[in-house]
Structure 1
Amino acid sequence: HYADDSREHFEISDDPRLASESWNEQISLLCNYEGAKLLMEEQAHREIQPVFRVHEPPNAERLKKFSRLLNRLIDAHGLSREVWVWRWRDGSYGDQETIAHYLRRLPRDAETDAVRRAITHQAQMLNNASVFTAVPGPHHSLKLDGYARFSSPMREVAGIFTHKEILEFCTCGDVPPAAVEDDLALREQVIEAANRARSVQKKLTKAVYKLAIDDLFEADLAQPLDARPERMGTVYGVRPSRVYVRLDEPAIDVKLYADALEAEHDTQLTMERSQAVLSSPDDGLRFVVGARLRLRVVRYDSPQERWILQPRTD
């Protein structure tokens, strides 16, 4: 939010979630589930053109990569395999340990908190994007066989359309249904718009975060290099081209860019097959998922619109 009435600077803060918000979320989920059940029961009627929200589970290959990453993290951080290993075998996910159960049983202590948070983030990255469709399908995250949008209907066009369909069916003619052919065509437009909205929202969120990060780091850059604050963070992920870091305060995600690090240190970074470690040949630079480090602003790379940060792990 804005730091003051001038609306020129931002203040980034974590707002605690109210209990009423959690309760409202559960009510919302129940409404959406019950609405989906009604749509599935009545979808054989030509008067109903349902829209469902489907969330497919991650495939076996992605789960295998996640398991491999966990095993490497356990070794890299010297953790107990008995405690930290995910009890999953290749190609099967049914009655074995779910990711949710695995995350719930991980230790909650200060010593391993950074590793646990990084693992939780990696688990979240496994999720496929949910999509709106004309046919029902599973919702993996909620463990439901059908899900639709009924709560907060004015927030997205899919909710408006599902309300219209249910009203036409349940009011016994008080709300006259539209022509089936017209509704079928409209439903296709609704599904396309609802799925496109996710991409638009992602772009808007990214733009807002950039404004906030720019405001934060511009203040750092205005100071002499030695006087700039060092911000603590945790490595949440690595790729051949970058390192993803979640700062402690404020809790925002920033990146270290491999090409900038390689140029500064005259080295080459290589990512392990486990996707848990990005390092130079002599280990002069070494980034392990779950590791702690300090970051300081060095400069702003205007041509590529990115901040160059200096990592310190000592």
Structure 2
Amino acid sequence: MTNRTKWQAHLPTKDQVREFITSSTGPVGKREIAKAFGIKGADRIYLKQMLKELLEEGVLEKGHRRSINPAGTLPPVLIIEITRIDDQGEAIAKPVKWDEDTPPPVIFVNNKTGNRKGPAPGVGDRLLARTHRQPNGHYEAKIIRHLKAAEGPILGIFTRTGNNGRVQPTDRKNKKEIVILDEYSKGAQSGEVVICELLPGRQFGLPEGKITERLGPMGDAQSISMIAIHTHGIPYEFSETVKKEALKAKPVTLGKRTDLRDVPILTIDPADARDRDDAVWAAPDDDPENPGGWQAIVAIADVAYYVRAGSALDTSALERGNSVYFPDRVVPMLPHELSSDLCSLHEGVDRPVMAVQMWFDKNGKKLRHKFMRALINSVASLTYRQAQDSHEGHPDEQTEPLKPILDSLFEAYKALKKARDKREPLDLELPERKIELNEDGFIKAVTKKTRFTAHMLIEEFMIQANVCAAETLIKKKRPCMFRVHEPPDQDKLEGLKETLSDMDINFAKGQVMKTATFNRILSQAKTETDRELVSALVLRSQSQAVYSPDNRHHFGLNLKNYAHFTSPIRRYADLLVHRSLISAHGFGNDGLSDEVADNFDAIGEQISNLERRAMLAERQTLDRFTAVYHANQVDKIFEAKVTGVTRAGLFVSLEPTGADALAPISTLGHDFFIYDQDRHKLIGERTGVVFQLADKIMVRLREVDIPTGSMVVSVEEEDGSSAFDAKARGKSRRALSKGRKPGTAPTGKPRKKRTTPKGKKRAQQRKSHQS
């Protein structure tokens, strides 16, 4: 340890020097450190000795051109590999070479590199890049050179051309077709979805490949889901080892478990539910000191009993992270023998559970709770519609004898709702759609989901159980995988503020953000379109929810302690929470090991990424299903809602299917459109026509690309006239800038003439000539 004399007391400590180097974004050497701390003369000897010790301790390391970096710092130029594409289309990478014991830093790839040409990077691509460290420890990378295309199998649509054929990749970023010679076609026919691999040796022209697997016709429902499964690398088959472990599983006996089989507990799920994670029960609290209070039990499938840490089942579940749901199928996290049978809380059979019993006062405030490892026997498996009909006085044959049980559940929910309303979680108006398939697996209808009180009842019971799990693990000082939703970043709120000012809704950007603030904003929206617009903007301003061992709270639910506990059949995070609860209560030897607990940071990042992968695959599959549905409706006029505004044009959602389509800016009318990024608007410079989020417009379907699920539309009325023509005829609609005169700015003031240097010179020349 470097010792400081009295006359050196003003010099920095090791921690201060290390903090300075870590927080610096540019290269740091002895000169920069000396300048930052005012170190001069003989004091430089002290600094040199300190840096030597920090290097020997491994805290710092020597970098490029005599710079000094924190340990594990990336070099300024290196080869990186794209690992995933996030929801915003941003590429995330990792260094190809990483010898440290710690996880590699996150690298965000900046593809906006001036005049550099080439395809956008895709998963698996390797790039030579220049990196720049951010204060938060992440890196931004600018591409120098694209080293090679993504490796691995390529999914595409086969088209026969003479004796040979070609494959058009389904990946929207991969525009180049692949030539397939007849000897490598495996008998594929035009229109089939195939998997192929590239053949080596061809340097120029279209690449050659060979088909390794035929998945079926493009129009087939099964092939639509398989495109997403293969594109995103989602494991959909279980190994023989995993299958054998699942087949060995046997029903559980009571043993040391709490016997809850006499409690009339039941499940309430969607009509098409593939598994049943949770069962519920409620009754008035018989404690005289809690008048009007309630007690409730939430019982969750005891997956930890069957999926032991370190087993093949566990390794497979972590690799998947979660179940993935498509319109025609589910890719489960666990094999069918567990997910749909032994772990599923079916009616009339004994099932092992992790249960939490909770007590609430008459206003829904939780008084206490306790966890149990128990055995239940569900009295009924009901749908939301059945529960709702019973609540509204229309029970069927199954729910008639259960009416007292259901009435108690709804009365308990009334109390819980009082506390929920007081808490004020984020309340967005975002309509959801449900796709109904016919017997052939194709879309029969697209309907808006009806949200029953029964839905909200189950949702609130699950939220309370999740809170109990987090609170218990915090109290017992055990590891917990929290569900974290941080407050929105202030920079993201700028666009919301600008748009709200146009709608005469006050929003002070600098204030402390609370869910109540957003709810108050939503309540000020005057029309349904305005409410949808504000809801969409508020949603865009929110942070991405993640899994983390660090409790950074859940902003959207307005809860300080929150962890997913209620769906271990389909989410690995919940299984980890179950194991930690088992260890915390001494419920068995199948709890959470210290080794796994120490790795919670990396596991949290992994399952968060897998969750995003699943969401993207599900969304893209919906796009392809709706593209098939609309394939024979080209040239038809649709009502649409604007869901995104970019420089390239408008993203719209077609009614009633909710299908996504792009309206290129060239179809909006004969005008030059200015992109207002903060207000999410396109503004016609000459006409004053305005397109913005949530606008209702008419569009004509122009193109449908089933392989990619993309569609192109043009903005026009039923008679073929454009938005520009509609304004010229004096049509009144909100997209026409609320009557603003042509040639005016969004503020209503006269638009300033553009004064580029070349424009100024020409103006002076004209003025001189006229004089």
Q: TM-score range by the shorter chain?
A: 0.7 to 0.9
* Pairing 1:250–2:661 present: no
User: What residue is the counterpart of 1:36 in the other structure?
Assistant: 470
Q: Which letter maps to 1:240? A: R
Q: Which whole-Å deviations, capped at 9, do the CAs of 1:227-269 have from their partners, x for residues lacking one? A: x2x22123243122231323342344433233x537xx56543
User: What residue is the counterpart of 1:214 in the other structure?
Assistant: 627
User: What residue is the counterpart of 1:78 in the other structure?
Assistant: none
Distance in 2, Cα, partners of 1:8 & 1:292: 28
Q: Which whole-Å deviations, capped at 9, do the CAs of 1:207-242 have from their partners, x for residues lacking one? A: 222123212321212xxx4xx2x2212324312223
* Pairing 1:121–2:539 present: no
User: What residue is the counterpart of 1:102 in the other structure?
Assistant: 521
Name the SS for the 2:446 alignment partner.
coil
Distance in 2, Cα, partners of 1:52 & 1:242: 39
User: What residue is the counterpart of 1:306 in the other structure?
Assistant: 710
Distance in 2, Cα, partners of 1:304 & 1:94: 39
Name the SS for the 2:448 alignment partner.
coil
Q: Which letter maps to 1:55? A: H
Q: Could you say which structure has the larger radius of gyration?
A: 2
Distance in 1, Cα, partners of 2:548 & 2:515: 30
2:461 to 27, 31, 48: 27
**Structural mapping, 1:271-286, within 5 Å:** 271-283=675-687, 286=690
User: What residue is the counterpart of 1:181 in the other structure?
Assistant: 595
Q: TM-score, normalised by structure 2?
A: 0.34
Q: Which letter maps to 1:237? A: G
Q: Which has the higher mean CA deviation after the structures are superposed, 33-42 or 265-274?
A: 265-274
Name the SS for the 1:11 alignment partner.
strand
* Pairing 1:202–2:615 present: yes
Distance change >3 Å, CA 122–CA 96, structure 1 → 2: closer
Distance in 2, Cα, partners of 1:269 & 1:213: 30
The answer to whether the 8 Å contact 1:236/1:289 transfers is yes
Q: More strand per residue: 1 or 2?
A: 2
Report the RMSD for the aligned CA atoms in angstroms.
2.8
Name the SS for the 2:480 alignment partner.
coil
User: What residue is the counterpart of 1:68 in the other structure?
Assistant: 498
Distance in 1, Cα, partners of 2:705 & 2:684: 23
Q: Which letter maps to 2:598? A: L
User: What residue is the counterpart of 1:294 in the other structure?
Assistant: 698
Name the SS for the 1:98 alignment partner.
helix
Q: Which letter maps to 2:632? A: A
Distance change >3 Å, CA 182–CA 145, structure 1 → 2: closer
Distance change >3 Å, CA 38–CA 15, structure 1 → 2: same
How far is the alpha carbon of 1:193 from its aligned partner? Answer: 3.4
Distance change >3 Å, CA 93–CA 49, structure 1 → 2: closer
**Structural mapping, 1:123-138, within 5 Å:** 123-138=538-553
User: What residue is the counterpart of 2:266 in the other structure?
Assistant: none
Distance change >3 Å, CA 146–CA 21, structure 1 → 2: same
The answer to whether the 8 Å contact 1:40/1:136 transfers is no
The answer to whether the 8 Å contact 1:32/1:148 transfers is yes
The answer to whether the 8 Å contact 1:239/1:275 transfers is no
Percent identical across equivalent pairs?
Answer: 16
Distance in 2, Cα, partners of 1:95 & 1:17: 25
Distance in 1, Cα, partners of 2:593 & 2:618: 38
The answer to whether the 8 Å contact 2:644/2:652 transfers is yes
Q: Runs of 5+ in structure 1 lacking a partner?
A: 75-80
Q: More helix per residue: 1 or 2?
A: 1
User: What residue is the counterpart of 1:77 in the other structure?
Assistant: none
Q: Which letter maps to 2:523? A: R
Q: Which whole-Å deviations, capped at 9, do the CAs of 1:100-120 have from their partners, x for residues lacking one? A: 12213433xxxx322221221
The answer to whether the 8 Å contact 1:50/1:162 transfers is yes
Distance in 1, Cα, partners of 2:628 & 2:620: 13
Q: Which whole-Å deviations, capped at 9, do the CAs of 1:166-187 have from their partners, x for residues lacking one? A: 0111126x436554234423x3
**Structural mapping, 1:52-63, within 5 Å:** 52-63=482-493
Distance in 2, Cα, partners of 1:140 & 1:13: 30
Name the SS for the 1:155 alignment partner.
coil
* Pairing 1:240–2:644 present: no
How far is the alpha carbon of 1:23 from its aligned partner? Answer: 0.6
Name the SS for the 2:510 alignment partner.
coil
* Pairing 1:261–2:697 present: no
* Pairing 1:13–2:447 present: yes
Q: Which whole-Å deviations, capped at 9, do the CAs of 1:259-310 have from their partners, x for residues lacking one? A: x537xx5654321254332034323864133432111112236898632201
The answer to whether the 8 Å contact 1:118/1:234 transfers is no
* Pairing 1:190–2:603 present: yes
Distance in 2, Cα, partners of 1:96 & 1:307: 36
Q: Runs of 5+ in structure 2 lacking a partner?
A: 1-434, 717-722, 727-771
Name the SS for the 1:20 alignment partner.
helix
The answer to whether the 8 Å contact 1:49/1:165 transfers is yes
Distance in 2, Cα, partners of 1:35 & 1:219: 51
How far is the alpha carbon of 1:13 from its aligned partner? Answer: 1.7
Name the SS for the 2:642 alignment partner.
strand
Q: Which letter maps to 1:101? A: R
How far is the alpha carbon of 1:95 from its aligned partner? Answer: 7.6
Q: Which whole-Å deviations, capped at 9, do the CAs of 1:111-142 have from their partners, x for residues lacking one? A: x3222212211111111111111121121101
Distance in 1, Cα, partners of 2:696 & 2:653: 10
Name the SS for the 2:641 alignment partner.
strand
Distance change >3 Å, CA 25–CA 276, structure 1 → 2: same
Distance in 2, Cα, partners of 1:51 & 1:198: 14
The answer to whether the 8 Å contact 1:115/1:289 transfers is no
How far is the alpha carbon of 1:159 from its aligned partner? Answer: 0.2
